[in-house]
Amino acid sequence: MDIFKKLKKYYWPYKRFLIFSLISMLFVTVITAAYPVVLQLTIDEVIYPGNFELIPMIVIAFIVLMGIKALTVYTQQYLGDLFGISTVYKVRDDLYKKLQRLSFKYYDNAKTGDLMSRLTADVEGFRFFLSFGFAEMLRVFSMVTVSLAVMLYYSVPLALVTIAVMPFLAVSVYMFDKRVHPAFLGIRRSFGRMNTRVQENISGMNTVKSLSREDFEIGRYEDKGENYRDHYIKTAKIWAKYMPFMEFVGNVSVVALLAYGGYLVMQGSLQPGELAAFFSLVWMFLGPLMNFGFVVNMFSQAKASGERLLEVLESDLELDDQIEPKGESIKGHVTFNNVTLTYVEDDDEALKDISFDAPPGKVVGLIGATGSGKSSITQLMTRFYEPEQGEVLIDGKPTTEYSLKDLRKHIGFVLQEPFLFSTTIKENISYGNPEASMDDIIDAAKSAQAHDFIMEMPNGYDTLLGERGMGLSGGQKQRISIARALLINPSILVLDDATSAVDMQTEFKIQSALKEVMHDRTTFIIAHRISSLKHADEILVLEDGEIVERGKHDYLLQNNGPYQRIYDIQYQDKEAILGKQHV
């Protein structure tokens, strides 16, 4: 029950629904147990003595009992559902909040499909047990208790013969639970892996189709589907093994009841009506016990789901932001003092002893091969990750002394692969500043060279975009992303290969517009094309996480170092072509 103890804070506030649901269940049990008594009275007090005038009264009483039971069952099921739904609403809400606050390091290892499975299938599995499982457990206990009490009232020896099978059923249920819980945990995990496969396939459909890898993807999905099927078959085998044994034990008890009960009737120590009532009671006694396997099934699924939910809910935030936002103004003076960063423990260092100073208004260019550490520098400024050594300062104060909200609202990011939401262009641009006026949105779009193509869209700024900006070219997505970053009026602007998806002419226009925007802002330009950062105040050349050169464009070209080699690679072909044209 440790899983349920840890999740208690979610369902305990709604305990009133559970309590009244369980009370209704007890009432239903008492009414159900009254049926055999009515049967016994009908046989022994009406049919055998010939008191047929009592039949109408018994019929009316029986109808009344059934009506009361129907109303009580309705109340019990409604309150049970209310208990489960109210609980998982809070669970799902906290899960989503936790996912918003988990660090980038968590998402480096997480699978989207698996997280989706936890938010849907696992939450629903937990809800199902809350809605029906608790009540079913009480129903089993109460039905067994009440039935046994009535049987003992009719005949103690016959009741003892009936309950002799209980130890066998108890052992079977225990063994069933011990084997079925790991099986259901395997089902949940394999379902998460299958979801991940679907999610990745849909997200990368362009790549799949462009490389004609549809059959390969079908094969990979079939592998995940077969794994999911195998886990379910394994669980079905466990169920098929234990359920017939439980039913067999129950039937042995019924045979013993009929044999010994018939003998007691012939001896005159038991009335025929009592034997008939006993026969009904034994199924009310054994039925719930055999059905207890179903309860264990629900319980095991809920435990497996609960474990997976807790894996997310109890995940370490890593960046536990305890500082309240103060609305601090940030000028944008960025300083790195001997900063070292490692993404994975015992892995190679992503950054090694990085130091530089970037006062407000300075434009810093970052260039180097893929994996050299360019993006890592900008991710430390926003505390997406924390350095192992050294410190990152903003306006002379360590970034750890700012609240994350205060820090990040002053840093505007334009990523190499922009993400757009499936909403209007206007709402995409104003995502970081929803209170912005329409004039401000248009100004930001003009600065990003996006206004003209937006006005050519069917509904202008109110044009609804498809998933991930479907319907726009790569360059158009990038320009909307630039407009979104500019609209928050950041003190620090990070352009992470922001013009890689546009043509040279559009890049020139964007850079011309950004020159004015960069005024008084600290700007970091990450680029592979030297043309994007040749006008930077300082260029940092990185290799394997280290700064191997620094300086302005002209100075670095005279050093005959890594920057010169990058320049030669990018421009030698162009100069050769121009030379041939000149000849």
Give the chain's count of helices (H) and strands (E): 22, 10
Distances (CA, A) of 84 to 109, 125, 127: 31, 10, 5
Identify which has the larger pLDDT, 66 or 323: 66
Looking at residue 252, what is its pLDDT? 79
Give the tens place of pLDDT for each residue, 312-328: 888 877 666 667 777 77
Q: How confident is the model at residue 577 (pLDDT cuts 50, 70, 90)?
A: very low
- On whether the CB atoms of residues 278 and 261 are closer than 8 A, the answer is yes
Do 173 and 254 have their domain in common?
A: yes
Q: What is the pTM of this model?
A: 0.69
Inter-helix orientation angle 55-101/134-154, to 10°: 150
* CA pair distance 279, 77, nearest whole angstrom: 28
User: What's the mean pLDDT in 243-253?
Assistant: 76
Do 254 and 284 have their domain in common?
A: yes
- Classify residue 514: in a domain, yes or no: no
Domain count, the chain: 2
Looking at residue 366, what is its pLDDT? 92
Looking at residue 498, what is its pLDDT? 65
pLDDT above 90: residue 334: yes
Looking at residue 211, what is its pLDDT? 59
Do 232 and 345 have their domain in common?
A: no
Looking at residue 220, what is its pLDDT? 80
Looking at residue 581, what is its pLDDT? 42
How far is residue 240 CA from its own chain's centroid?
Answer: 32
Do 300 and 388 have their domain in common?
A: no
User: What's the mean pLDDT in 565-570?
Assistant: 83
- Classify residue 296: in a domain, yes or no: yes
Identify which has the larger pLDDT, 540 or 208: 540
User: What's the mean pLDDT in 278-303?
Assistant: 76
Do 298 and 330 have their domain in common?
A: no
DSSP class per residue in 97-165: HHHHHS-HHHHHH--HHHHHHIIIIIHHHHHHIIIIIHHHHHHHHHHHHHHHHHHHHH-HHHHHHHHTT
Do 200 and 261 have their domain in common?
A: yes
pLDDT above 70: residue 125: yes
How far is residue 300 CA from its own chain's centroid?
Answer: 20
Looking at residue 580, what is its pLDDT? 40
Looking at residue 318, what is its pLDDT? 63
pLDDT above 80: residue 365: yes
Looking at residue 414, what is its pLDDT? 82
pLDDT above 50: residue 582: no
- Classify residue 571: in a domain, yes or no: yes
Domain region containing 122: 2-313
Do 159 and 240 have their domain in common?
A: yes
Identify which has the larger pLDDT, 336 or 305: 336
User: What's the mean pLDDT in 56-79?
Assistant: 86
Do 253 and 356 have their domain in common?
A: no
Do 253 and 330 have their domain in common?
A: no
- Classify residue 519: in a domain, yes or no: no
Distances (CA, A) of 519 to 300, 462, 491, 512: 62, 31, 10, 12
pLDDT above 90: residue 335: yes
Do 332 and 231 have their domain in common?
A: no
- On whether the CB atoms of residues 162 and 285 are closer than 8 A, the answer is yes
Count the Cβ atoms, other than its own, within 10 Å of residue 550: 17
Q: What CATH number corresponds to the domain at position 144?
A: 1.20.1560.10
- Classify residue 263: in a domain, yes or no: yes
Q: What is the mean pLDDT of the chain?
A: 81
- Classify residue 488: in a domain, yes or no: no
Do 134 and 58 have their domain in common?
A: yes
Looking at residue 532, what is its pLDDT? 79
pLDDT above 80: residue 447: yes
- Classify residue 449: in a domain, yes or no: no
User: What's the mean pLDDT in 390-414?
Assistant: 87
pLDDT above 80: residue 50: no
User: What's the mean pLDDT in 162-179?
Assistant: 75
Looking at residue 437, what is its pLDDT? 92
User: What's the mean pLDDT in 232-248?
Assistant: 78
User: What's the mean pLDDT in 113-136?
Assistant: 82
pLDDT above 80: residue 277: yes
Q: Give residue for tokens 């001997």.
A: 338
Q: What CATH number corresponds to the domain at position 406?
A: 3.40.50.300
Do 534 and 565 have their domain in common?
A: yes
pLDDT above 50: residue 250: yes
* CA pair distance 549, 315, nearest whole angstrom: 40
- Classify residue 580: in a domain, yes or no: yes
Q: How confident is the model at residue 356 (pLDDT cuts 50, 70, 90)?
A: very high
Question: The dihedral of CA 91, 93, 97, 102: what is its sign?
Answer: positive
Q: Which of 47-51, 351-355, 436-440 is the least confident region?
A: 47-51
Identify which has the larger pLDDT, 133 or 335: 335
Looking at residue 442, what is its pLDDT? 92
